[in-house]
Amino acid sequence: MIQDILKKQKLNREDIIYLLSVTGEDEKTLFRHAAQIKEKTVGNTVYLRGLIEMSNVCAKDCLYCGIRKSNPNTNRYTLDENEILSAIRFAHENRYGSVAIQSGELNSPAFIHKVDNMLRQAKEITHNEIGITLSCGEQTEETYRRWFNSGAHRYLLRIESSDELLYYRIHPRDRNHSYDIRVEALKTLRKIGYQVGTGVMIGLPFQTVEHLADDLIFMRTLDIDMCGMGPYIEHKETPLYESREELLSIQERFRLTLHMIAILRIMMPDINIAATTALQAIDKLGREKAIQVGANVLMPNITPGKYRDNYSLYENKPCTNENADDCKSCINIRVQMVNHEVGYAGWGDSKRFEKRKFNLSH
């Protein structure tokens, strides 16, 4: 019985597998329970992270990703410093509280320096007010530290799949795409003092509900502060497209993602969970639905409009032809539509992180 499972203090693997598969009334019960837990712990405030897609130049070759190095049909771009800073200024002026800066993965000294410089300037022009999440892939401990000292305080690094075998079915098996290094990177980020976020893709070829249950347990074991996870959406110009016959329907991937979000909210009530853009690519109200079942962070895209088409990780990416201003007016409406309110100005740190910090200092 679903009620018996939902009463438990700690869900085990079988419970999670069961919850991932519920339908009909039981599914409604799951979603309602997750919504109640959210209301009680993080409340009905949705925090904004203005998403800046800094560059789609990438040194890696993930088998699912549209901006992988070996895709010759991507128009590569890199925002210059002024473009990045004006997006940051926009977020600050509109009281977004935080920005999330995402990029293809590069490890060159020039790239590291550019990010570092950008961080310092972002802090300076916003009088230290803007919160900054970085999502720039795997870097050395030294680089992570350098960026932390320059003002980044949250870092997102998706594990993509916590199952090592599945990981190597969706990444080339080489030193540049090592599962162990990725897990180690997450631990290093935590050690340095970042709020750490991870996440997975849902509905990958060869992925089972057991894998997904293990992904959630991986997040709990790592005691993450934030999570961003979304449905896998096949991209024609990637090697994984060949395995499209293996896929669940796009609607099933969408539903499974809502289940993952709801279950994670139940397992880790006080973390931040993003309603990701990939959900919106499938359903116009995808992110709102995610908010209703447990998500509490929205990442409106504030990349200068002319570049958006080129950051195509997957197909049908939404809002690629808008300006940030267009999005601004619809955010409030969207959030209010599902009876939530936007948390303007504050950094919106995860409650989980605040508690951990408190425990460490007492």
Residues in contact with ligand FES by CB under 6 A are 58, 60-62, 65, 67-68, 104-105, 137
Residue 307: which of ligand FES, ligand 5AD, none does it interact with, CB under 5 to 8 A by kind?
Answer: none
We find the least distance from the C-beta atom of residue 319 to ligand 5AD, in angstroms, to be 15
We find the least distance from the C-beta atom of residue 159 to ligand FES, in angstroms, to be 12
Residue 60: which of ligand 5AD, ligand FES, none does it interact with, CB under 5 to 8 A by kind?
Answer: ligand FES
Residue 201: which of ligand FES, ligand 5AD, none does it interact with, CB under 5 to 8 A by kind?
Answer: ligand 5AD
8 Å CB contact between 271 and 226: yes
Residue 15: which of ligand FES, ligand 5AD, none does it interact with, CB under 5 to 8 A by kind?
Answer: none
Element (H, E) at 334: helix 324-337
Nearer to ligand FES, 60 or 154 (CB): 60
- Provide the phi-psi class of 114: left if phi over 0, else alpha when psi is between -120 and 50, else beta: alpha
Nearer to ligand FES, 94 or 312 (CB): 312
Residue 105: which of ligand FES, ligand 5AD, none does it interact with, CB under 5 to 8 A by kind?
Answer: ligand FES
Nearer to ligand 5AD, 15 or 234 (CB): 234
8 Å CB contact between 42 and 22: no
The whole-angstrom separation of Cα 70 and Cα 241 is 14
DSSP string, 273-324: EEE-HHHHHH-TTHHHHHHHTT--EE--B-S-GGGGGG--SSTT-TTTT--H
φ, ψ of residue 46 to 5 degrees: the values are -110, 125
We find the least distance from the C-beta atom of residue 56 to ligand FES, in angstroms, to be 9
We find the least distance from the C-beta atom of residue 157 to ligand FES, in angstroms, to be 10
β-bridge mates for residue 154, sequence order: 133, 195
Pull the structure tokens for residue 188.
Answer: 């290093």
We find the least distance from the C-beta atom of residue 160 to ligand 5AD, in angstroms, to be 5
Residue 144: which of ligand 5AD, ligand FES, none does it interact with, CB under 5 to 8 A by kind?
Answer: none
We find the least distance from the C-beta atom of residue 26 to ligand 5AD, in angstroms, to be 27
Nearer to ligand 5AD, 65 or 261 (CB): 65
Nearer to ligand FES, 60 or 92 (CB): 60
The whole-angstrom separation of Cα 253 and Cα 247 is 9
- Provide the phi-psi class of 12: left if phi over 0, else alpha when psi is between -120 and 50, else beta: beta
* Binding region for ligand 5AD (CB under 6 A): 64-65, 158, 160, 201, 230, 232-233, 235, 278, 313-314
For helices 250-267 and 209-222, what crossing angle results, to 10°? 30
We find the least distance from the C-beta atom of residue 75 to ligand FES, in angstroms, to be 15
Strands (E) across 36-156 are located at 45-55, 98-103, 131-135, 154-156
Residue 314: which of ligand 5AD, ligand FES, none does it interact with, CB under 5 to 8 A by kind?
Answer: ligand 5AD
Q: 3-state class of 19 per DSSP?
A: helix
Separation in Å, CA 342 to CA 13, 47, 332 = 34, 6, 7
We find the least distance from the C-beta atom of residue 261 to ligand 5AD, in angstroms, to be 15
Residue 137: which of ligand FES, ligand 5AD, none does it interact with, CB under 5 to 8 A by kind?
Answer: ligand FES
Instruction: Return the percent helix, strand and coil in the chain, to nearest 5.
Output: 50, 15, 35
Nearer to ligand 5AD, 201 or 261 (CB): 201
Pull the structure tokens for residue 289.
Answer: 């639905």
